[in-house]
Amino acid sequence: MAPNSKPPVVKIMDYGKFKYEAAQKAKEARRNQANTILKEVRFRLKIEAHDYTTKLKRAEGFLKAGDKVKAMILFRGREQSRPEQGVRLLRKFAEDVAELGTVESNPTIDGRNMVMVVAPLKNKSEAKAEQNAVRTANKQAARDAKSGSESDPTDESEA
């Protein structure tokens, strides 16, 4: 416990129990660990408003889950001569997801594609813990509602 004190303070304990508890802590740490994944959302330069909102909602879901999002615009034919329109679209995308993530790499042209990476504001483990808390709260609310509804019909039938 305190080897530098005079006299040294020690604690007598069961080594097997100590080893077991250390293994349990390591197992719990591995379970709570989460790797950030790079998810991809692809656009075309001439994307319709509804399609854009669909892609935006998908990207927001990825960012809420704590994953990075790679926004990619695919250029075809003469669209390649207008990269400024692609930059404009990606900037609009970055503004729309600003409350959930920040731009990690600015738009860059990679062959026929323009790519931008958006990183989440929360890391993966925080997002996972938040989702678990919401899930347990919903389960508890469902249990409370179920137990409350079971007692109500008996009160009405007796009256």
CA torsion sign, 96 to 37 to 48 to 46? positive
Q: Is 89 exposed, middle or buried (0-12, 13-18, 19+ CB in 10 A)?
A: buried
Task: Look at residue 135 and tell me whether its pLDDT is greater than 50.
Answer: yes
10, 1 Cβ separation under 8 angstroms: yes
For residue 53, what pLDDT is reported?
A: 94
SS3 (DSSP) at 43:
strand
Residue 32's pLDDT band, with cuts at 50, 70 and 90, is low
Task: Look at residue 159 and tell me whether its pLDDT is greater than 50.
Answer: no
Residue 111's pLDDT band, with cuts at 50, 70 and 90, is confident
Residues 6+ apart with CB under 8 A from 99: none
Amino acid found at 94? A
- Alpha-carbon distance of 126 to 131, in angstroms, equals 9
Residue 19's pLDDT band, with cuts at 50, 70 and 90, is very high
Residues 6+ apart with CB under 8 A from 61: none
- Alpha-carbon distance of 66 to 76, in angstroms, equals 32
The stretch 116-139 carries a mean pLDDT of 83
pLDDT in tens, 49-104: 999 999 999 999 988 888 899 999 999 888 888 888 989 999 999 999 989 888 98
- Alpha-carbon distance of 47 to 71, in angstroms, equals 13
For residue 4, what pLDDT is reported?
A: 81
